[in-house]
């Protein structure tokens, strides 16, 4: 895939968030509307095209932990707020920043985790669980070795302790489990077809009124062989 080949040619060990999302979109995982820009004027144009509210992030292939670097601004409602946020992020000392990501702000919904790692013994393993801040706190995750069929994926969904969050909740309809299961199957397929992907982390996969959307995504690549 061209995205991975370009990253390899540049000697990168991971993809930018935007490239990671393009990769999973190719496997039918829905992503947020977004654009990468280089300055405040371009950010304004992108936001007006995407529609407010938006989120603004510093982005770069080596900028993996944006929260730690205070590189995210959320809930931006108009041009004035966006210009201020863009000026702040461009002026800040953020290691690895290559540009700005203007992203549609997704409203209230369930935050889930979908991921993939490679186990030395079993190979690619797909993960599903609660996302957002609950990922590290609750560690409520189900795992299956790829490839997955629909039975495997539905079992994963029902295996997590917090599965009731997928039912009808606070006026929100129940999550479409068949659609969610297909995303897990597709991530398993990605893992098998793209051996250069060492790790994939979609967190959160937001389930809102528009259905599932990948709000953030991280892809790490396998180490490249070196000539002795």
Q: pLDDT: is 153 or 139 the higher one?
A: 153
Closest by CA to 136, choosing from 159, 167, 113, is 113
Cα(90)–Cα(188) distance, integer angstroms: 37
Task: Say what the pLDDT of residue 67 is.
Answer: 83
pLDDT at 172: 84
Q: Phi and psi dihedrals of 57, rounded to 5?
A: -130, 145
- Distance (Å, rounded) from C-alpha 136 to C-alpha 85? 28
Q: What is the pLDDT of residues 83-142, one digit of tens each?
A: 999 999 999 999 999 999 999 998 878 999 999 999 999 999 999 999 876 777 778 899
Return phi, psi of residue 100, to 5°: -120, 145
pLDDT tens per residue across span 53-94: 999 999 999 998 888 889 999 999 999 999 999 999 999 999
**Is residue 212 within 8 Å of residue 203, measured between CB atoms?**
no
Selection from 43, 35, 34, 33 nearest residue 87 by Cα: 43
> What number of other Cβ atoms are within 10 A of residue 179's Cβ?
12
* pLDDT in the model for residue 162: 87
What does the pLDDT average to over 132-157? 89
What is the value of pTM for the model shown? Answer: 0.92
Those residues with Cβ within 8 angstroms of residue 15's Cβ, 6 or more apart along the chain or in another chain: 3, 4, 7, 23, 61, 218, 219, 221
The per-residue pLDDT for range 14-27, each reduced to its tens digit, is 999 999 999 999 99
**CA gyration radius for the chain?**
18
């Amino acid at each position: 895939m061209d995205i991975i080949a370009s990253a390899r040619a540049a000697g990168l060990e991971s993809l930018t968030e935007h490239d990671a999302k393009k990769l999973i979109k190719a496997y039918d995982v829905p992503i947020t509307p977004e654009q990468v820009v280089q300055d405040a004027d371009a950010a304004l144009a992108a936001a007006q095209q995407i529609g407010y509210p938006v989120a603004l992030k510093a982005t770069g292939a080596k900028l993996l932990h944006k929260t730690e670097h205070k590189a995210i601004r959320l809930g931006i409602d108009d041009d004035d707020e966006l210009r201020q946020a863009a000026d702040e992020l461009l002026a800040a000392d953020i290691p690895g920043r290559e540009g700005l990501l203007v992203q549609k702000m997704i409203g209230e919904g369930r935050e889930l985790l979908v991921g993939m790692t490679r186990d030395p013994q079993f190979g690619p393993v797909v993960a599903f669980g609660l996302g957002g801040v609950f990922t590290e706190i609750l560690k409520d995750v189900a795992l299956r070795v790829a490839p997955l069929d629909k039975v495997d994926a539905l079992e994963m969904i029902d295996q997590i302790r917090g599965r009731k969050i997928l039912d009808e909740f606070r006026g929100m309809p129940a999550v479409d489990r068949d659609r969610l299961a297909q995303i897990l199957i597709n991530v398993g397929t990605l893992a098998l077809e793209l051996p250069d992907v060492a790790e994939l982390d979609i967190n959160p996969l937001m389930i809102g009124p528009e259905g599932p959307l990948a709000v953030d995504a991280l892809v790490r690549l396998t180490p490249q062989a070196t000539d002795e």
